[in-house]
Amino acid sequence: NAGVTQTPKFQVLKTGQSMTLQCAQDMNHNSMYWYRQDPGMGLRLIYYSASEGTTDKGEVPNGYNVSRLNKREFSLRLESAAPSQTSVYFCASIAPGQGYYFGQGTRLTVV
Amino acid sequence: GESVGLHLPTLSVQEGDNSIINCAYSNSASDYFIWYKQESGKGPQFIIDIRSNMDKRQGQRVTVLLNKTVKHLSLQIAATQPGDSAVYFCAENMGGGADGLTFGKGTHLIIQP
């Protein structure tokens, strides 16, 4: 998915460790999003940023923090990872009327 | 709470046949709907969208139908090909777009040779 880049692609953490998932888009979009995807479930919104300098909670924000560093970058931080946070994480950006663009995902395992 | 859902978790069709994937939504305030395709190990890929002021929209080999009376959305794929094998998600948004999408759980489309 050209335009939205996530790093890393894979990560294994021990319970209690912290890490930051990085996301960048080069399409000059205002709004960016973090979703998680679990088996048998659709994507669920963690946090979003409607514009640079603003962030808001989504459906499942507990255990996460975000930073909208600039218009391009929106990072997701796990301060103290838990096994329940094992999931695939997707970053997305939106151009109103043009659809949502997703990154390739970060597969996180917390042991 | 209100949610978007799909009727069948798995749909198996013969190559060359038409596929119809269904989605029920319960939020009458939703005014924008999107279908996504997700292949294994990849992020969701935009297929087609439709706004609530439309009943039908066509793309290349795909058609989305919206029935607001019964809150039903469907994706029709004509002449399905092996490359159509994937999980398909419907998603809805309540106006504006900035507050994100609500996704259904997905339908796994399997193409039989």
CB contact at 8 A, B2 and B69: no
Is the pLDDT confidence value at A98 over 80? no
Question: Rg of chain A's alpha carbons, rounded to an integer?
Answer: 13
| Any B CB within 8 A of A60 CB | no
> In whole angstroms, what is the distance from residue A88 CA to residue A39 CA?
9
Does a cis peptide bond (omega within 30 degrees of 0) precede residue B9?
no
Task: Say yes or no for a CB contact (<8 Å) between B44 and A33.
Answer: no
pLDDT for position B9: 83
Is the pLDDT confidence value at A11 over 90? yes
Long-range pairs of B25-30 with CB within 8 A, sequence gap ≥ 24: B25/B71, B25/B72, B25/B73, B25/B90, B25/B92, B25/B104, B26/B2, B26/B71, B27/B2, B27/B3, B27/B92, B27/B94, B27/B102, B28/B68, B28/B71, B29/B94, B29/B95, B30/B92, B30/B93, B30/B94, B30/B102
Is the pLDDT confidence value at B99 over 70? no
| Any B CB within 8 A of A33 CB | yes
CB contact at 8 A, B25 and B111: no
Is the pLDDT confidence value at A78 over 50? yes
Task: Say yes or no for a CB contact (<8 Å) between B34 and A100.
Answer: yes
Q: Which residues of A touch B105 (CB under 8 A)?
A: 40-42
- Residue B59: which residues within 8 A CB-CB, separation 6 or more? B47, B48
Residue range A84-95, pLDDT digits in tens? 999 999 999 987
Residue range B20-50, pLDDT digits in tens? 999 998 788 888 899 999 998 888 988 999 9
Q: Give contacts of B 37-76 with A, CB under 8 A.
A: 41-46, 49
Burial class (CB in 10 A: 0-12, 13-18, 19+), A78: buried
Residue B75's nearest CA partner among B26, B8, B15, B30 is B8
CA distance A5 to chain B (A): 11
CA A97 to chain centre: 22
Is the pLDDT confidence value at B76 over 80? yes
pLDDT for position B2: 35
Residue range A36-52, pLDDT digits in tens? 999 777 889 999 998 89
CB contact at 8 A, A93 and A33: yes
**Backbone phi, then psi, for B63, in 5-degree steps?**
-135, 135
pLDDT band at B102 (very low <50, low <70, confident <90, very high): confident
For the record, the structure tokens of A31 come out as 């709004």
